Amino acid sequence: MEETGALLRAIGQRKTGLASKDFLLTWEQTREELEQVLDIAQVMKIMREKNIDTRIFNSGLGISVFRDNSTRTRFSYASALNLLGLTQQDLDEGKSQIAHGETVRETANMISFCADAIGIRDDMYLGAGNAYMREVGAALDEGFSQGVLPQRPALVNLQCDIDHPTQSMADLAWLKEHFGGLDQLKGKKIAMTWAYSPSYGKPLSVPQGIIGLMSRFGMEVTLAHPEGYDLIPDVLEVAQRNAKASGGSFRQVSTMEEAFRDADIVYPKSWAPWQVMQQRTMLLRNQDTAGLKALEQHCLQQNARHQQWHCTEEMMKLTRDGSALYMHCLPADITDVSCEAGEVAASVFERYRIATYKEASWKPWIIASMILARKFADPAAVLTRRLQEAQPRIKC
């Protein structure tokens, strides 16, 4: 257990404020706090590999609120709760009375009497998803301070309109594993680029999450997209500021080729322009189906002009030694596999397929770590006791 010993010492020595703030945007956490989350995730992953029971809770609920479809995050959140000993309870807004005019603060309390964690996905409405999470958080604070709730549940952002912190932190954990440490990331070139997809309306949270997080670790971050496919301006400023502070860089270029040149890591992925997402939010709010159809038509036509934004073998040859690490949050639009023309060529994707699975495999651990760090002021002590007891997960 030397492996865990060093990690636990690092976890124990850090002074972080994780126990008193929700994980809603990575750039609200200090670098120490981000490292804390990575280390806790790693300890728990090792524990499970060694068949050591990772549960901290004997009972307790973990609530999920999915306001958009999800497979990966849904299963990762369910896994994280299970690793901690919590039981998932989904708030299905269709089945509930929420549509009947219930206020957010009331619902937040009603579902939390026995809840130790709440995870929310709300990425459809620009300007609203992250705000909704903060509203829930404030309601939980009030409920706890007024004696309604016996505990303050940890609140985790499972993807909002601005950031996708469980994804970007899992991506970071994967980069740390792949390159052999966070210090190895310093100076590495990462290309976050738009890529063509035959669909439209994909959220901005992944590219924004990536440039907002990778710029914290001294990486050379390049963002590339066709003209007009802008991200939220505030997040660009965040990335700029982060890069400066961490000794890295952040720049924008206008072709995939330019971004890929000498890159150590490439992350080609489709998204809808910020301006389109704003229009779409308004149309969704007004339930303007005709307007949404017209917007989709317009956007698909616009997308079609950018089919050359395609992660091909030729494109990959531009990267460092022709062998940059390909990343994707999945599912990717794979040319000739899931669509006629998409984000990535089949041969490129196939070469990195297992790597993208490993990238994704960090998510349960990252989410479990975020919850654990939010609930316990001294996570090293909690984990140490679990390791000392070393109850087997499987009683074989």
Considering the complex, state which of residue 96 and residue 302 has its C-beta at the smaller distance from a copy of itself: 96
Considering the complex, state which of residue 73 and residue 130 has its C-beta at the smaller distance from a copy of itself: 73
Instruction: Report if residue 147 touches a copy of itself, rule: CB under 8 A.
Output: yes
Instruction: Report if residue 167 touches a copy of itself, rule: CB under 8 A.
Output: no
Closest separation in Å from C-beta 322 to a copy of itself = 23
Closest separation in Å from C-beta 334 to a copy of itself = 8
Residue selected from 3, 5, 12, 103 as contacting a copy of itself according to rule CB under 8 A: 103
Phi, psi of 395 (to 5 degrees): -90, 70
DSSP 393: S
Considering the complex, state which of residue 114 and residue 236 has its C-beta at the smaller distance from a copy of itself: 114
Query: CA-to-CA distance for 376 and 386, rounded, in angstroms?
Result: 14
Query: CA-to-CA distance for 165 and 131, rounded, in angstroms?
Result: 15
Please give the angle made by the CA atoms of 68, 39 and 185, to the nearest 5 degrees.
Answer: 85
Residue 125 CB coordination number (10 Å): 21
Residue selected from 37, 128, 232, 360 as contacting a copy of itself according to rule CB under 8 A: 360
Instruction: Report if residue 171 touches a copy of itself, rule: CB under 8 A.
Output: no
Instruction: Report if residue 143 touches a copy of itself, rule: CB under 8 A.
Output: yes
Amino acid identity for residue 184 in this structure: Q
Instruction: Report if residue 57 touches a copy of itself, rule: CB under 8 A.
Output: yes
Per-residue b or e along 142-163, where b marks 16 or more CB atoms closer than 10 Å to that residue's CB: ebbeeeebeebbbbbbbbbbbb
Query: Which secondary structure element, helix H or strand E, spans residue 223, and what is its range?
Result: strand 220-224
Considering the complex, state which of residue 16 and residue 76 has its C-beta at the smaller distance from a copy of itself: 76
Residue selected from 29, 36, 42, 54 as contacting a copy of itself according to rule CB under 8 A: 54
**Tokens coding 186:** 């310093």
Considering the complex, state which of residue 121 and residue 188 has its C-beta at the smaller distance from a copy of itself: 121
Considering the complex, state which of residue 67 and residue 189 has its C-beta at the smaller distance from a copy of itself: 67
Instruction: Report if residue 388 touches a copy of itself, rule: CB under 8 A.
Output: no
Query: CA-to-CA distance for 392 and 389, rounded, in angstroms?
Result: 9
Question: CA 63 → CA 108, 110, 113, 153, 231, distances in Å?
Answer: 10, 11, 11, 9, 30
Instruction: Report if residue 55 touches a copy of itself, rule: CB under 8 A.
Output: yes
Instruction: Report if residue 154 touches a copy of itself, rule: CB under 8 A.
Output: no
Of 236-265, binders to a copy of itself (CB under 8 A) are: none
Considering the complex, state which of residue 45 and residue 189 has its C-beta at the smaller distance from a copy of itself: 45
Q: Where does this chain touch a copy of itself (CB under 8 A) — which range of 26-34, 109-117, 207-215, 222-230?
A: 109-117
Of 291-350, binders to a copy of itself (CB under 8 A) are: 330-331, 333, 337-339
Of 77-96, binders to a copy of itself (CB under 8 A) are: 78-79, 82-83, 85, 87-89, 91, 95-96
Considering the complex, state which of residue 102 and residue 183 has its C-beta at the smaller distance from a copy of itself: 102
Query: CA-to-CA distance for 271 and 159, rounded, in angstroms?
Result: 14
Per-residue b or e along 60-77, where b marks 16 or more CB atoms closer than 10 Å to that residue's CB: bbbbbbbbeebeebbebb
Burial zone of 388 (CB within 10 Å; 0-12 exposed, 13-18 middle, 19+ buried): exposed
